[in-house]
Amino acid sequence: MSHRAPPPVENTGLKPLLLCCRPEEGKIGPPDFLAGVPGLAPWEAAVSHSAVEHGWLRVLAARGPVFVEAEADRLLAGLERFDLLVVAPLSLNSLAKFALGLRDSFPARVFGAMADLGRPILLETSGLPRPDTRINPHYAKIYRRYWETLNGGSIAGFTPETFAAVIDRLVRTRRALAGQPPALAGRRVITRDDVLAAYQAMTPLVVPPGTLLTDLAREEAEARGVPIRFE
């Protein structure tokens, strides 16, 4: 059974799932920057086994509904109700598993399933190796390469200081796309501008039946990591 706080009064905006992975050095605790961010509905959280062992469950359960590893199947079965995944903090171990496509842990299963759904995934990057890191330079280089592999398309990074701005940009872009008039009858052409709009909204590029996808648009989607979904 999930550990639930009293139900929120208001539930508007993008519904986020918070995925908490305890960093290897353990200097970063449960995040507290999601509360009150405009454009977000009340969040729910998935907490890694390591984070639970270090006492994060009680802190997070006081803020909203929380899922632990034993509830993974139930969470994954209802994952479509979440509009985006926020991974904070991000452990280097989870980063590696995400980049390699492994699904042998609770966080990796959640990440992979959200990626399959094409939902936006935001990764908190303050734990990535810095130039003055104590990590072996060889491993630091590998982790940075993992990040470069993931970054793009529906996956983007943020810091606690930039999180609100990232959400604001995402909400504004999606509202602008939703306000566009429907395509006219006949064959529609998808251009590079459509790819850029999908990239900014962190959504797949949807190609309806009978729509022409230009070579330039296809190349731009590949360069930016935007998934193409043919209907």
Contact 171, 123 (CB under 8 A): no
Domain ranges of the chain: 16-167, 181-230
Give the length of the chain: 231
- Cβ pair 110, 143 in contact under 8 A: no
Q: Are 82 and 17 in contact (CB under 8 A)?
A: yes
Task: Name the DSSP letter for residue 104.
Answer: -
Residues 4 and 1: their CA atoms lie apart, in Å, by 9
pLDDT of residue 85: 97
Contact 64, 5 (CB under 8 A): yes
C-alpha span between 64 and 143 (Å, rounded): 31
Q: Kindly report the CATH class assigned to 16-167.
A: alpha beta
Closest to 128 measured CA to CA, from 84, 169, 87, 165: 87
Other Cβ atoms less than 10 A from the Cβ of 196: the count is: 15
pLDDT value at residue 5: 44
From 134, 130, 114, select the one nearest 227 (Cα to Cα).
114
Residue 187: how many CA atoms within 13 Å on its side-chain side?
6
Give the pair of three-digit tokens for residue 158: 């943020």
Residues of the chain with pLDDT under 50: 1-2, 4-11, 184-185
Question: Which residue is listed with tokens 């492994």?
Answer: 102
Phi, psi of 74 (to 5 degrees): -65, -40
Which of these, 155, 64, 46, 42, lies nearest to 108 by C-alpha position? 46
* pLDDT score, position 187: 55
d(CA 194, CA 221): 10
CA distance linking residue 19 with residue 67, whole number of Å: 9
